[in-house]
């Protein structure tokens, strides 16, 4: 697999290598050793999620309080999604910046997002299946969202798709409102978390 850092620091895309023959195809979609070598620490695996979405389903921008936060390793084995990472760490040099990667079943890729980063995706096809590994378990009181259509974020959602959001995501604050409410993690908190993980 090939690994490259995205425009948002502490997020990466993994270009995976599928192996196929007349029987079908095989892909190593997650390698703990490769991720640990890139990050300098292993992903503490606490939960694995799987969602299936209709075309236009827009999920996010989601994040969790730091510490501990919630790192994610995202893979799309069926269908196609546009996966987006947003730097919501107050004090980060790239605060408000984003990057996006198409994850699909044709050219397999995975994305890693560190604790403190915002995550969102839109399904580009019906029955898009997304599997993601999480560094901390679901904790509703510590998890928040930012409206994915916040014009200040200007995320690269396709123009030819009719969006469908959950009630929770529709009611989420803008980035600025979330900052004013003190919901966003700080770069200082995130850097301390990353250092603690590297120290073991």
Active site residues: 62, 132
Strand partners, 53: 128
Q: Which residues pair with 25 in a beta bridge?
A: 20
Distance CA 164, CA 59 (A): 9
Give the distance, in angstroms, between the CA of residue 189 and the centroid of all CA atoms in the same chain.
19
Query: Distance between CA 23 and CA 183 in Å, rounded?
Result: 49
CA–CA separation, 43 and 61 (whole Å): 21
CA 82/CA 63 separation, integer angstroms: 17
Is the peptide bond between 15 and the residue preceding it cis, with omega within 30 degrees of 0?
no
For the chain, how big is the Rg over CA atoms in Å? Answer: 16
Phi, psi of 117 (to 5 degrees): -95, 150
Category of 169 on φ-ψ map: left (φ > 0), alpha (ψ -120 to 50) or beta: alpha
């Amino acid at each position: 697999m090939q690994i490259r850092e995205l425009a948002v620091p502490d997020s990466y895309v993994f270009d995976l290598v599928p192996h196929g023959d007349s029987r079908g195809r095989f892909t190593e979609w997650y390698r703990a050793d490769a991720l640990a070598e890139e990050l300098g620490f292993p992903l503490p695996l606490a939960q694995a999620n799987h969602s299936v979405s209709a075309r236009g389903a827009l999920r996010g921008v989601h994040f969790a309080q730091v510490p501990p936060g919630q790192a994610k390793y995202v893979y799309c084995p069926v269908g196609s999604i546009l996966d987006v990472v947003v730097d919501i760490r107050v004090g980060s040099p790239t605060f408000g910046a984003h990057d996006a990667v198409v994850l699909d079943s044709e050219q397999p890729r995975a994305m890693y997002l560190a604790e403190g980063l915002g995550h969102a995706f839109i399904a580009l096809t019906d029955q898009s299946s997304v599997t993601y590994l999480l560094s901390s378990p679901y904790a509703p009181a510590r998890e928040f969202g930012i409206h994915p259509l916040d014009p200040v974020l200007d995320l690269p959602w396709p123009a030819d798709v009719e969006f469908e959001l959950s009630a929770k995501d529709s009611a989420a604050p803008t980035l600025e409102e979330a900052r004013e409410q003190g919901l966003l993690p700080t770069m200082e908190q995130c850097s301390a978390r990353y250092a603690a993980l590297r120290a073991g």
